[in-house]
Structure 1
Amino acid sequence: MDFQKIKEASQFIESKLTVKPELALVLGSGLGVLAEEIENPTIISYQEIPYFPESTVSGHKGQLVIGTLEGKTVLAMQGRFHFYEGYTMQQVTFPMRVMKQLGIQSLIVTNAAGGINETFNPGDLMIITDHINNMGTSPLIGPNDDRLGARFPDMSQGYDKAYIQHALQCAEELNLSVQTGVYVGNTGPAYETPAEVRMLRTLGGDAVGMSTVPEVIVASHGNMRVLGISCISNMAAGILDQPLTHDEVMETTDMVKQNFLQFVKKIISSLPMNR
């Protein structure tokens, strides 16, 4: 990853801002609605930012929204990049590098995911406790720049334990039932086969999706604190006898958006920002 490109992108974003963001949000399929709650927003299209890829998936607007949310200065990605779009792992995770360069230390990453755990239901929110990288590659492959992080980063606490506890406490205060579990990252874009879902369940996966894992690896490499939340948008293949579609994902995320908005805003309002 070219450090100069990271600097140029972050300097361009800084030139548009009068505030310094302290918290980053990555908003997954159908969850970009949270960015519309940000007050006094500065909106920057990905197309404007040097070296940023473009979001090509429906449900992903393709812009940064920077402003105030629940008393915190936030930078939200309204739409993300996926490996299946044909981008390299380094391109997919470039925004995480830029966030770190901007001085952001905390990240909330969200996604829509298929439920593997048969006790889950579509519409459930799942706090990610850990992940399985089933993508067959890593964004850290290649030469390591020590300015960005260690050659062999520790992933034993990729998802910050204090943030997980904080999120559980917030759910309890809201009287909101949430799940916890392990997220499996697959490349996509095809949904899993029933046999693959059985395999992932055997391996310990609770939900499966096509994002998040590369971003969290790079955030950990940069020593950022991460909280992950999945919206269980459908049950994975073979659990219910029905085909899977992206439309179903969007319908479910739309159905639960009030719970999602309430939950994430509550988390942000009292999120501890320092280690």
Structure 2
Amino acid sequence: MPGPKDLDPSSSPRALLGAELRHAREKAGLTQEELGQPLFVSGSFIGQLEAGTRRMMPEYAVKMDEILGMDGFFERNCKAANKSRYPDHFAQAAEAEADALTIKEFEPLLIPGLIQTSAYARELFRTYQPTASEEKVDEMVDARLARGRLLDDPTKPVLWVILGEAALRQEVGGPKVMAEALRQTSTLVRNHRVILQVLPFSAGAHASLGGPLKLMSFADAPPLAYLQALTVGGLEDDPATVARHTLTYELLTAVALSPRNSLALIESVAEDYAHEDRQP
């Protein structure tokens, strides 16, 4: 009987690789937990690989080929499945976003990437990489805007953002850029595409002083939490860990402004920036 064919990179490589993994595991009579044990990963991690919400790393691919008798199939196709236009530390999170039913995000300092304008994103990338070529900056901006096109779907994913007040006050790119960025944010809220709350300075100490937080849920895979710092980031799938971060997010919603008051604040600050930009 012929073995599985190599994946077509023009299709959805992660989804196809995941489907082949599920087929091979079930053929071998293994549960997700049993396959995960020799890899030192959880059964839920295997489930996320099968659902295509996590990427298969080369070291796992080699081991799975051995366990499942796949004659190097996963190792050969791992490269195609892992191609990404995003930085390594964020690639898996960006891929998971595309499959998520809900995304809940806390950003203390910046407007989140999913709702950034081109000018706002460009200013950030130029600041982060002052010696990068214009072509490189263009590529990074295009990749960020591509993420935002998830919101072209009117219902999926449900996006809930808690925005630190500092993100409104930190002037990225000048008054014109900030006015445009905040107006786009308010438009998404008014169009019922984003649920948004502002965490005001007056809230004082809060549950996520350590930094940003992203939570994602899926139709056919366990939920994930993503934690990020400068040029590093990681997905968490341990149920207890995700539950703890979910509680953190719920605590943030409790001390943030209501969606109505948050929208009023965003639009007020946007008008202040617009007025400042019009001054001679």
Greater helix content? 2
Q: Which has the higher contact order (CA 8 A, sep 6+)?
A: 1
Question: How high is the TM-score relative to the length of structure 2?
Answer: 0.26
Structure (1 or 2) with the larger CA radius of gyration: 2
